[in-house]
Structure formats: C-alpha cells, structure tokens
Structure 1
Amino acid sequence: MEEMRLTAYESSKLYKEKVKLYHDLKIRQKDFRVGQSVLLFNSRMKLFPSKLRSKWSGPFLIKEVKSHGAIKLQDSASQRSWVVNGQRVKPYLGSDVEQLTIIINLSDA
C-alpha cells in the first residue's frame, strides 16, 4: 500500500508540473511603452450591472512604466494621471473614428 501511495504522489507531482508548464507557455507577455494608448479594465463591483456597459474604459496614454509592473496612466481629456496595476490594462488597437451622420428623409411618393 505504501508503495502505491508513493507512486501516486510522484505521478500527481509530474502531472502538476506538466500542466503548469503548459499554462505558462500560453501566457503572453505584455510589453508597454511610454506614449502607447491602452484600455483600463473597470473591476468595481456594481449592485445593478448593466449588460450593455463595457468593462473597459479609455483609451488612456501611458505616462510612465515602473519596473515592478505598475503603469502610470494619463487621461488626455482631463490631464489627470494615476498609477494602476499592469494586469488591468491592455493595448488599444483602434484609432479615432470619425462619426458620420446621415439623414435620410423618407416620403410617400
């Protein structure tokens, strides 16, 4: 019995190591640069969450990247800056889009 228990322990240890290696290979490193636009994840708990509200806000401009993973963001509209965890941001891939409004008059002709 003791031998079976020890082999089971070893096999579970090997399994955990393989799974950890697999998951670590799937993790993508995020490299942020000063001046890059990013989106910020809003993780606040809400009493009445709405389905149509996006959890990502922004875009914000990166003002400084700290060595321990913190990022200093700046809002371009209000010029306010604050420090957030680097895991809460993702790169903003979009660009400014012009809003075009088209008015179509429908008549009974």
Structure 2
Amino acid sequence: MVYGKACHLPMELEHRTYWALKVLNFDSSQSREKRRLKLLELEEMRLNAYESSRYYKQKRKMYHEKKLLKKTFQPGQQVLLYNSRIRLFPGKLKSKWSGPFMVKEVKSFKAVELINPATSDPEKTWIVNGQRLKIYNGGDIERVTTVIHL
C-alpha cells in the first residue's frame, strides 16, 4: 500500500524480487543462525582485542620496570636530592640536584628520611621518595643562590 492505495508491481519486477528471495534464501531460521554466528564472531574479536591490550600493557610494564634503577640506601650515606621545583627561571647549566644530605633512616616503600648536615639543627628531618635521590660520591658542589623579587 502506498499512501492508502494499492500498488501493483509490473510482472517483470515482481518476478525479479521473487528470484532474489529465492537466491538469497530468506529462510528465517537460517538468517537467525547467521546472525547468531556474526554476534559470536564479534564477541570473539572483542575478547582478542582485550587480550592483546592486556599483553601490550604487561610488556610495557616489564620494559618500564627494567629501566628503573634499583637504588639501596644505608643510614649515614650521603645523597643528592632532585629538585623538581626549579622551573621559574630555569637555566640550561643549572644543576637540579641539591645537597648533599645524609640518610637518617630507610623506611618501607622506598621512602628515605634525610638530615641536612649543613644546618645547626640536627633534629630537622624530612621524608622523600627514594627515586628522587642519587648517591653522592664526594667533591664540592657549587651553590649558586639566586634571589628574584616578584
């Protein structure tokens, strides 16, 4: 029905549609089965993508952990502290390492308690992440102090 009126197809067009239905085999049970197989295939592709992503993340984690340096510190050892806050007026040749500081205690989860031996108050300590430290091998560090009034 087209706009409430009966529609008559020419015989040739009607024959072609019957032929197309017959060739494509529009059996509802077969089309249902084909649809179910397509959905299962889609689910399998999704699971393969999930597994691939998990495997990729696992490899990246292993690569990252391999690049991390295993640092062990003992009490009394001298270390340098990475100062990540020198960003206001960064100089190309200015060192971002400050110190030397002395390790007072090594805590769990790579936390290290530091003492500044240059100060008169030996009780003033602070705790930093061990990844921000490196072992100090001696020598003088040129201390440049810049005061910037804003």
Note whether the superposition's TM-score is higher than 0.5: yes
Identify, as 1 or 2, the structure richer in helix.
2
Determine the structure 2 residue equivalent to 1:55: 96
Q: Which structure carries more relative contact order (alpha carbon 8 Å, separation 6+)?
A: 1
| Higher mean displacement: 58-67 or 73-82 | 73-82
Per the alignment, residue 73 of structure 1 pairs with 114
1:46 equivalent in structure 2: 87
In structure 1, the partner of 2:48 is: 7
The percentage of aligned residue pairs carrying the same residue is 54
Larger Rg: 2
- TM-score normalized by structure 2? 0.55
Q: Give matches, 1:12-27, under 5 Å.
A: 12-27=53-68
Unaligned segments of structure 2, at least 5 residues:
1-41, 141-150
Runs of 4+ aligned structure 1 residues displaced above 3 Å come to none
Distance change (3 Å), C-alpha of 1:26 and 1:50: closer
Question: Match of 1:87?
Answer: 131
Relative to the length of structure 1, the TM-score reads 0.71
Q: How many residue pairs end up in the alignment?
A: 96
Letter in structure 2 aligned against 1:72:
E
Cα deviation, residue 54, structure 1 = 0.7
